[in-house]
Chain A
Amino acid sequence: EDKVVQSPLSLVVHEGDTVTLNCSYEVTNFRSLLWYKQEKKAPTFLFMLTSSGIEKKSGRLSSILDKKELFSILNITATQTGDSAVYLCAPKMYSGGGADGLTFGKGTHLIIQP
């Protein structure tokens, strides 16, 4: 059975801190891994990682994938209160039928205190 574990499940830090969110996965026919930020309702896309060891960066956010050890991390530097959200990771698998459904972890609930 496919498994996605995110840690920590919740995290409270102060503005300006750096945080590292973890996602480990055990899935068949791995294709890529996606990170999303969910503030109220719609998860918004952050990164898609396909290759091991290549860091993707967007402003203060960065992410990297390790396909050998089956995990990914999401880093946020100089955190701001607007970074408060649930961060979801979702491996995507190859499917014989062509289905592209995402398997999500439970998410990390990040709270940034002023």
Chain B
Amino acid sequence: DAGVTQSPTHLIKTRGQHVTLRCSPISGHKSVSWYQQVLGQGPQFIFQYYEKEERGRGNFPDRFSARQFPNYSSELNVNALLLGDSALYLCASSWGGLGETQYFGPGTRLLVL
């Protein structure tokens, strides 16, 4: 079975632009979470979606938004990019029950110039 997949793998944008990152969860998983990992830090929680509803949100500005589709794939959108948004964006999927293990995708490395 395929693991979590993310696209694109790398992306370069300039300040002020908008970006959309995509994630497909493991087959059968209904929950998707997004994390931002800045160099030298652990991943930071951005959003969690379950059955197309937002279940939780971390401490990120409104420039960050996400959604989940009927097939449980998800998009993370970031508007008005700042240099500080440069990071590895990780998607994790889980079956959806509370307490389930989250499995991570390979991430999208975003560079904002």
Contacts and interface: CB of A to CB of B under 8 A. Distances in A.
A1 to B, nearest CB: 10
Interface residues of B, number: 32
Interface stretch (A53-61, A66-74, A87-95): A87-95
Interface string A17-29: 0000000000000
A44 B104 contact: yes
Contacts of B43: 43, 88, 102, 104
Given A43-B43, A43-B90, A95-B56, A100 B48 contact: yes
Interface residues of A, number: 28
Interface of A: 4, 31-32, 34, 36, 41-45, 48, 50, 88, 90, 92, 94-95, 97-107
Given A42-B3, A90-B42, A100-B100, 5 more contacts: A45-B101, A98-B50, A98-B56, A101-B56, A106-B41
Interface of B: 3-4, 31, 33, 35, 40-45, 48, 50, 55-58, 88, 90, 92, 94, 98-107, 109
